[in-house]
């Protein structure tokens, strides 16, 4: 998620789960090759397992980024074919590329040939007026010919001509059954469901016939959802850190950052951490005042020390 899953958010996510696979923001190849590479380079080994999520439509540019990434400790590289934003559409990448499977094949082939990482794709069920009962299997079959076998499937269509990105996350109906059918049709592929997932425990059972689940907005707005990922999905011990400990760890982390913009983003990412607490509003106000954020730490810790109760 652009402007969301940056290095600061990923540090927060790792306070809650050591096992969940994290994604970078979608980063366009031009930003890496010709712009500020900080988003590309800015991660630590502690954030792994970590997927580099790319946007782009130029096989040569994608191959160059893959060569660069061979020197960086990413676990996987994902080509985003699902983002529906007008800006992304105007650049002919994201979900718009699903209309050009031959170009997608060229892009993925170039990536595979120049990378020592696993290559995956993130897709929608289809775009615009496509009949997903016909077009989806055809698209996946063509893409699988490249050797890509991991598909993160947002269980909605993308309506590129009429809906905003927000509407594209809400108005096209979720169709998990179509994702399940895709797995039945392509048993050797890894099919991971995405879209509208909010409960880890329920989803483990609901999608037991698939190869995994991917959570986006809910993990950002309510990071504590990640707190039992390790035990439920990976049969490992949860980290079981208290909110006080996580808060202290985040402020200690901010002390290591050199750029004010990084600290500001990190403070914003923490807002959802306190959702449902009786003092959540006060804590969000404290986090929003960057000029006094070090003083805010002590007040937030004090609020957490007081036997807070969660809002029902």
Residue 174 DSSP class: P
Please provide the size of the chain in residues. Answer: 312
Query: How crowded is residue 69: how many other Cβ atoms within 10 Å of its Cβ?
Result: 21
83 assigned to active site: yes
Burial of 302 (0-12, 13-18, 19+ CB in 10 A): exposed
- For 7, the 3-state DSSP assignment is helix
Q: Which of 32, 50, 54, 83 is catalytic?
A: 83
> Which residues are within 8 A (CB) of 226 and not within 5 positions of it... i.e. 6 or more apart?
13, 16, 17, 20, 219
Nearest to 67 by CA among 57, 52, 82: 52
**What's the rounded Cα separation, in Å, for the pair 170 and 156?**
9
Q: In what order do the strands lie in the sheet with 76-81?
A: 22-28, 50-55, 76-81, 118-127, 150-158, 190-194, 212-214
- Host H or E run for residue 38: helix 38-41
Which residues are part of the catalytic machinery?
83
């Amino acid at each position: 998620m652009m402007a969301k899953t940056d290095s600061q958010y990923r540090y927060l996510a790792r306070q809650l789960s050591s096992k969940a696979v994290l994604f970078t923001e979608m980063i366009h190849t031009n930003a890496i090759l010709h712009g500020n590479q900080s988003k590309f380079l800015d991660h630590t080994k502690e954030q792994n397992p970590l997927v580099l999520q790319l946007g782009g439509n130029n096989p040569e540019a994608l191959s160059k980024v893959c060569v660069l990434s061979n020197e960086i400790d990413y676990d996987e590289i994902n080509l985003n074919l699902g983002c529906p934003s007008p800006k992304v559409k105007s650049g002919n990448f994201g979900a718009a590329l699903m209309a050009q499977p031959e170009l997608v094949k060229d892009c993925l082939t170039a990536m595979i040939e120049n990378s020592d990482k696993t290559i995956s794709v993130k897709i929608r069920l289809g775009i615009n007026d496509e009949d997903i009962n016909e077009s989806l299997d055809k698209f996946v079959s063509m893409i699988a010919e490249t050797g890509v076998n991991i598909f993160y499937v947002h269980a909605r269509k993308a309506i590129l001509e009429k809906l905003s990105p927000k509407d594209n996350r809400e108005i096209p109906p979720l169709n998990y059954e179509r994702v399940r059918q895709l797995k039945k049709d392509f048993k050797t592929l890894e099919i991971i469901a995405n879209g509208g997932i909010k409960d880890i425990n329920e989803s483990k059972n609901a999608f037991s016939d698939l190869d995994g689940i991917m959570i986006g907005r809910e993990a950002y707005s309510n990071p504590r959802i990640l707190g039992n990922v390790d035990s439920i999905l990976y049969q490992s011990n949860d980290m079981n850190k208290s909110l006080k400990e996580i808060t202290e760890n985040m402020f200690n982390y901010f002390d290591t950052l050199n750029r004010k913009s990084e600290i500001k983003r990190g403070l914003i990412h923490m807002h959802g951490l306190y959702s449902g607490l009786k003092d959540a509003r006060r804590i969000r106000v404290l986090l929003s005042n960057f000029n006094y954020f070090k003083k805010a730490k002590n007040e937030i810790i004090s609020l957490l020390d007081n036997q807070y109760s969660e809002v029902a």
